[in-house]
Amino acid sequence: MPELKAPDKCRQCNSELYGNYCSNCGQPRELKRINGHYVLSQIGSVLSFEKGILYSIKELMIRPGINIRKFITEDRNRLVKPVVFIIATSLIYTIFQQLLHFEDGYINYSIGGETAVSTIFEWVSTHYGYSNILMAVFIALWIRLFFRKYKYNFFEILILLCFIMGVGMLIFTVFGIMDSIFTFKMRDKGYVFGFLYITWGIGQFFDKKKIINYVKGLFSYLLGMITFSIVAVASGLIIDALSK
């Protein structure tokens, strides 16, 4: 009697394989070789209007609060991942700012000398993806305070901010590009428009019918940015004092 061959093992979870895909984790039996078609398909899936980044941008521009609320409470596949989104949009801003050399006024502090404070803000201005997440932490604390009756927890508010601050970075990028093309200045208008969008997104998320929510959204954002700056400066001063 011929000896039966033992089934192959999944390389991901070590379960037995009986088909083209692992029944336990879904890993394919054979990975297709990476080629030009694979790369194009990945780019297409990221940029597609079906739950891709372009679809997410469109939905967040039109109905930010409603879509983010649905993402949190109903459908986590509705939009792209929030942390990936804010890092990607911040990277887009940085790339265009470096290529076109439009003035960077989003977080721009002129602090003379080689100090820890100047080093911190230099890092912030060159790592917007990560620094935006840090800023969101401080903004979320103020939102949690002003909107505490709505019972959203701190991390759900962080998700909100990742999405709307990500779109804010795209708005800053568009106006920065326009500022580098046209003779009249557009960059400052972009920052105003971006701040208004973020305020609108916060207010719409909690209750779009209440005007006071937009006012509280604006104050939450501004106070969060101020708090972040104070903590950054204080941290730098402490480091400088300890290093002397």
130 versus 41: the higher-pLDDT residue is 130
Is the pLDDT score of 1 beyond 50?
no
User: What is this structure's pTM?
Assistant: 0.76
Is the pLDDT score of 118 beyond 90?
no
Q: What is the pLDDT of residue 182?
A: 77
Q: What is the pLDDT of residue 49?
A: 44
CA neighbor of 170 nearest in space, from 200, 198, 203: 198
Q: What is the pLDDT of residue 103?
A: 67
Contacts 24+ apart (CB under 8 A), 206-210: 206/65, 206/147, 206/150, 206/152, 207/150, 208/65, 208/66
Is the pLDDT score of 77 beyond 60?
yes
Percent of the chain beyond pLDDT 90?
34
114 is written with which tokens?
A: 């080689």
Largest Cα separation within the chain, whole Å, is 86
Q: Which residue has the tokens 């977080």?
A: 107
Q: Region 213-236: what's the mean pLDDT? A: 93
How far apart are the C-alpha atoms of 197 and 202, rounded to whole Å? 9
HSE-CB at 136 with a 13 A cutoff on CA atoms is 26
Over the stretch 155-166, which tens digit does the pLDDT of each residue have? Answer: 999 999 999 999
Beta carbons within 8 Å of 115's beta carbon, 6+ residues apart = 236, 240
Return phi, psi of residue 135, to 5°.
-60, -40
Using CA atoms, how far residue 189 sits from 163, 181, 186, in Å, is 21, 15, 5
Q: Region 162-187: what's the mean pLDDT? A: 85
Is the pLDDT score of 123 beyond 90?
no
Q: Region 125-130: what's the mean pLDDT? A: 76
Q: What is the pLDDT of residue 40?
A: 64
Is the pLDDT score of 231 beyond 60?
yes
Is the pLDDT score of 67 beyond 90?
yes
What is the torsional sign of CA 6, 12, 18, 23?
positive
Q: Region 184-202: what's the mean pLDDT? A: 84
